[in-house]
């Protein structure tokens, strides 16, 4: 197997290594380190990274990786798994989406070793982690006060990436363009196939999102033949949305939501009412097209122009997609199971 060196530490085949990867110091002379957990099989195979908290307030991914590390199985048959529970350690420390220089790390790739603070962290992650990897899974949530239905965003025009997205096992796949400065764009340009998992909301754990993410990662590792083949008795059929759009508020006011994540909507359906402090109805937010709600704002206050409902548009029958969303909930959140005992199987 090729040698693997991260942060000056060589990880030998057949070993498990934890690395504190140095990143730029704070002005208090405090050392900041990115935690890395590496598992290597003795046999050659794909190298996969799983990363979380590129945005420091997106915590679901941290818990997904924590649970993945603590699983007694699966054991790697081949290849290497690199787990990074906190990329933006500064943001996690401050419970903030951003870096201390107020930059969005996910708009600063590929970065530069002599650039801004965010640019230097981006360069370190790309150089020390991504460049070694054939595949990657980057874990995200909705922004502050927004929730996302579990979904995969990726370049689904690439056949291998589409196959991995389908294997992941969530109902909604979004064929998403690459954003300038994003980790996904930098990874693709370096030859790494990457999935972006979106689920839940910032600064909150969501058990469905965590379980769906953990299960999805295990499915991908099994598909790549890095782990023992998993028996999926109740696979969730994914559907591809080639377009999506946010429905925005036409008035400022107080919101009464009528629809929730995963709901099917028809063109013209009322999604929410916006009212004044005196109880008068100022506007009705309506769906401009038929589709499935895959994201929504949670705070019941809006300014004119605020994004309120993220609706994905499909060519398939929406009813079947909703059924698969419900199936995912039934599989991952059985009412008689303690969340602490979940193994992802």
Strand bridging mode 301-302 / 253-257: antiparallel
pLDDT for 140 beyond 80: yes
pLDDT tens digits, 274-322: 999 999 999 999 999 999 999 999 999 999 999 999 999 997 667 888 8
Residue in the block written with tokens 């990786």: 65
Query: What is the structure's pLDDT at 256?
Result: 97
Q: Which of 164, 159, 177 is nearest to 225 (CA)?
A: 164
Which domains are delineated in the chain? 4-223 (3.40.630.10), 244-332 (2.40.50.100)
Q: How confident is the model at residue 177 (pLDDT cuts 50, 70, 90)?
A: confident
If 0-12 CB within 10 Å is exposed, 13-18 middle and 19+ buried, where does residue 163 land? middle
Find the Cα–Cα–Cα–Cα dihedral 265, 270, 271, 277, rounded to 10°.
Answer: 180
How far apart CA 307 and CA 149 sit, in angstroms, is 16
In terms of pLDDT, which residue wins out, 72 or 57? Answer: 57
- Has residue 202 got a pLDDT over 90? yes
Residue 253: per-residue pLDDT: 98
Q: Is the distance from CB of 56 to CB of 90 less than 8 angstroms?
A: yes
Give just the sign of the alpha carbon dihedral 138, 142, 143, 144: negative
Write out the two tokens for 203: 């600064």
% of the chain with per-residue pLDDT over 70? 94
Is the pLDDT at 169 greater than 80? The verdict is yes
Q: How far apart are CA 84 and CA 79, in angstroms?
A: 17
Cross-strand pairs, 91: none
Residue 324: which H helix or E strand, with range?
helix 318-332
Residue 137 binned pLDDT confidence (cut-offs 50, 70, 90): very high
Percent of the chain surpassing pLDDT 90? 83
Tell me what pLDDT residue 236 has. 79
3-state secondary structure 127-158: HHCHHHCCEEEEEECCCCCEEEEEEEEECCCC
Q: Is the pLDDT of residue 52 over 70?
A: yes
User: Which of these, 51, 63, 25, lies nearest to 105 by C-alpha position?
Assistant: 51
The confidence score (pLDDT) of residue 155 equals: 95
**Does residue 61 surpass a pLDDT of 70?**
yes
pLDDT of residue 333: 87
15-38 pLDDT, tens digit each: 999 999 999 888 888 889 999 999
Q: What angle do CA 269, 275, 276 make, to 5 degrees?
A: 165
pTM of the model: 0.94
233 has a pLDDT exceeding 70: no
pLDDT at 344 over 60: no
Q: What is the mean pLDDT of residues 215-227?
A: 96
Contact 293, 265 (CB under 8 A): yes
């Amino acid at each position: 197997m090729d040698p693997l060196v991260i942060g000056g530490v060589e990880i030998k085949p057949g070993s498990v290594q934890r690395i504190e990867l140095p990143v730029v110091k704070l002005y208090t002379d405090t050392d900041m380190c990115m935690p890395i957990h590496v598992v290597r099989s003795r046999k050659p195979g794909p190298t996969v990274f799983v990363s979380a908290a590129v945005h420091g307030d997106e915590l679901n991914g941290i818990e997904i990786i924590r649970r993945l590390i603590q699983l007694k199985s699966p054991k790697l048959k081949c290849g290497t798994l690199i787990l990074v529970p906190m990329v933006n350690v500064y943001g996690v420390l401050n419970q903030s989406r951003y870096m201390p220089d107020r930059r969005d790390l996910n708009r600063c790739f590929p970065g530069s070793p002599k650039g801004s603070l965010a640019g230097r962290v981006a360069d370190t992650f790309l150089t020390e982690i991504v460049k070694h990897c054939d595949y990657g899974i980057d874990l995200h949530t909705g922004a502050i006060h927004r929730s996302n239905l579990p979904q995969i965003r990726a370049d689904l025009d690439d056949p291998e990436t589409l196959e991995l997205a389908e294997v992941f096992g969530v109902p909604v796949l979004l064929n998403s363009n690459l954003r300038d400065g994003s980790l996904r764009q930098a990874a693709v340009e370096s030859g790494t196939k990457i999935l972006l998992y979106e689920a839940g909301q910032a600064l909150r754990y969501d058990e469905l999102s965590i379980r769906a993410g953990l299960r999805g990662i295990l499915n991908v590792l099994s598909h790549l033949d890095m782990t023992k083949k998993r028996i999926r008795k109740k696979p969730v059929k994914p559907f591809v949305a080639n377009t999506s759009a946010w429905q925005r508020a036409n008035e400022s006011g107080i919101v009464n939501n009528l629809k929730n994540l995963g709901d099917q909507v028809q063109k013209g359906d009322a999604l929410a009412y916006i009212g004044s402090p005196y109880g008068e109805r100022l506007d009705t937010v309506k769906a401009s097209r038929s589709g499935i709600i895959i994201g929504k704002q949670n705070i019941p206050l809006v300014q004119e122009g605020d994004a309120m409902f993220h609706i994905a548009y499909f060519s398939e029958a929406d009813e079947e997609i909703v059924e698969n969303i419900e199936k995912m909930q039934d599989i991952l959140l059985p009412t008689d199971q303690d969340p602490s005992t979940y193994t992802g199987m």
